[in-house]
Structure 1
Amino acid sequence: MYSIAITSRTLHFLQPAGTSRGVYTTRKSFYLTLSDSGRPGVTGLGECATLPDLSCDALPDGEYERTLRRFCTDFCRTGRLDIDALRPYPSMLFGLETAKAQLDAGGSTDFFGTPFGRGEEGIPINGLVWMGTFDEMYRRLEAKLEAGFRCVKLKIGAIDFDRELDLVRHIRRTFPREQVELRVDANGGFRPEEALQRLEALAPYGIHSIEQPVRQHQWREMVRLCAASPLPVALDEELIGVNDSTEKARLLDTLRPQYIVLKPSLHGGMAGTREWIRLAGERHIGSWITSALESNVGLNAVAQLTADVYGPHISLPQGLGTGRLFADNIPMPLAIRGDQLWACRQEKDRPDVTAPASDKNRWQ
């Protein structure tokens, strides 16, 4: 018989995380601790968290928790995940999938028995440079390169585009494309009438790809950009809220991007992410997986999924380096070594997601 305890916790960013949609200074997560009376002492932990103004299931706290409670109750009663019912709530599905995967793995953080999960190989990741002033972004870039990253993603759209272009130009004067792979993420920050011109301005500098150049739901413009862009276009926000398999296929067939970028807590949980990757692969569209500002609990789950989907010997850098964002992150056996994320199997840290008793609820 299953039971689930829920706690909530607010995490604090070490530095404000800026995107074209705003700046995050805190992140609230709900944690599910799943147990089974038939396996005493074994638990699975999952994280459910949304990003305001971005997640399709970003509900007010009270409504979010009530909805989450209902799905937890249904799962404990039936013993199975109702994927179809949970499709509109990807962050909740992801948390439940994570908790169940860890419980099924006997409580281990190695969910799927991969070389990564066993600590035998790392996953290559990109270094992430958040939006900021020219000087801030350049200092952050230097720090990533000094740490050994060979693929760096720049968040752009916060300062004047000409200054951002100056930064890209300066990078390429020092670091040729053979030495450092550059990705840029506009987070939908370009206006449709200027987007193609800006992509053409970036093209001479050997950019690997640009994520979401214009805001989602502008399909006519996105079709034109994907077809005419001198840079490979990767879709991210465009995929949010597209939960039905038929709708996913229609989006891919219509827009024809070169890549899709998948965040399980935004794009359908583990099940939805696997479905996106399958559909994209059938159309020769590339993909990679990235975290979405989760704590280390969610980051580990995303990494375990990545290793299971793409591994072993992953060559394309993934977006899994956000574990150092928070001042009060939850300990997990993860480490960044150079430009790779590793699972440290020798570590025995148990996540501590305790909260005041008033914040806890249990369903059976």
Structure 2
Amino acid sequence: MSILPTTNELGFFEIRLESIGGLGANLAGKMLAEAGVLGHGLNGSNFSSYGSEKKGTPVKAFIRFCEPEVEIRAHSPIEEPHVIGVFHEALYKTVDVVNGLQADGIVLVNSERDMEAVREELELDHGTLAVVDAMSIAVEENTRINTAMLGALYRVLRFLDVDKMRDVIRETFGKKYPHIVDANIRTFNRGYEEVSFKSYEVPEGAEQKPFERQPSRLGYETQEIGGIISAQANSIAKDLSGSRQGFLPAFEQEKCINCTHCDTVCPDFCFVWEEREDKRGRKQMVLQGIDYQYCKGCLKCVEVCPTSALTEIRETIGYSDEHRVKQTFPYVEGVVK
């Protein structure tokens, strides 16, 4: 008897994880596939799609399960998944995370917001929505969010045995990092226990989310001769907030001595300066604040600040928008949000 709740026309139960580099979705996909194959005797496959292997870049992990007698000959990205896991809400800004979701599909989101707010933003009319504050769990347990997300996935996918995943966690981390095994087990357990979910009735004849493949902006027909990149200063249009993992720097201008140590170690355009006169009438650059659009949360600035004008705080919803001081790029118009 099959343990899979449903399959597509090829006999696959498919899961897609939408994430950002640095959150551990690639490893989560591998662990999930391993638990299904070795722990449950299913046939399965897993692979990931990512770009430059750095924090902040979009990552997708694809997991397929089927019965042992079904051969897996499909190795393409999953376009019409039964389950989608969203590791960071910042993805909403650039990626249609529920692209191609089945009509009765399940969406798991890492968020501290209430379920209805998440549902409204995802425009999810039917199916099952699950929400877990995986970031808070990971921060409190000093781990990454991937094991918390796996715990939540196991809660909504009831055909999977939690003990099998605990064995995989011990096997995965035990060889190289035995000191973090217990913390990741706790993170997994908390994700399983703290996830909340709600199912919305699927009306008769309801259609799945249409899948739309994003066309490439540059290809062999549209690329400039010689591979020229004609867009100037294109990095200033990026939103790096998705790279943060629960913490960011807070700025107190009263304590700042404008030493520029923070700007020296900052890898991006975070710090906003303005030319002003000091008490003696001499011109100098004065730090006005932080443009959180470019802040990855590396906290190097906090480490080098000699006056504690920059301190590490736990990121909360709306803080970065409320305290953001926007950069101005006088030679580039219409690029910065």
Report if TM-score (shorter chain) is over 0.5: no
Question: Does 1 or 2 have the higher relative contact order (CA < 8 Å, sep 6+)?
Answer: 1
Instruction: Identify, as 1 or 2, the structure richer in helix.
Output: 1
What is the TM-score of this pair, normalised by structure 2?
A: 0.25
What is the TM-score of this pair, normalised by structure 1?
A: 0.24
